[in-house]
Amino acid sequence: MNPHKDDKPSIYKRVVLKDASPYQYLKVCLELEKSSTRLSAVELKHFIITGLKSLFGEVGASLYFDILKYDRDTRTALLRVCSRGLVKLWSSLTLLGFYQKQKCAFRVMQVSPFLLALTANSRELQLD
């Protein structure tokens, strides 16, 4: 007599989490025709919201994102966006072409679901 005959077979369930991180982080740089132009963090956020609104309407303008860090001199920002809004934010940044009647372009330098990954860039690493 088999003592395990009445036992139910083991059930294994494979769980795959796609984009398990709730946020994505972007390091972006705003390049302007006149390099002397300075923007505050508030002006930058308003500019990005304007781009979202022009591409996706009022619903797009309500996309939740934050400016975690901003360097006014280099116009480099660290943005946090919910994972499901990454494509909308990125595409609206790509299509912004003018700021106060001067040509501009956002350069997306790094993207990661981990904030720590944006602290260093191996392309800019200088060894002594």
Q: Is 52 helix (H, G, I), strand (E, B) or coil?
A: helix
Given this model, what pLDDT does residue 16 score?
A: 62
Given this model, what pLDDT does residue 2 score?
A: 61
Given this model, what pLDDT does residue 102 score?
A: 92
pLDDT in tens, 32-67: 998 888 999 999 999 999 999 999 998 888 899 999
Given this model, what pLDDT does residue 118 score?
A: 84
Given this model, what pLDDT does residue 5 score?
A: 61
**Residue 66 tokens, joined:** 């934050």
Given this model, what pLDDT does residue 18 score?
A: 66
The neighbour count for residue 51, using CB atoms within 10 Å, is 22
Given this model, what pLDDT does residue 73 score?
A: 92
Return the beta strands (E) in 16-122 as ranges.
Answer: 23-32, 65-71, 76-82, 98-99, 102-112
The stretches in the chain having pLDDT less than 50 are none
Report the topology of domain 23-115.
Alpha-Beta Plaits (3.30.70)
Given this model, what pLDDT does residue 3 score?
A: 60
- Radius of gyration (Cα) for the chain, nearest Å? 22
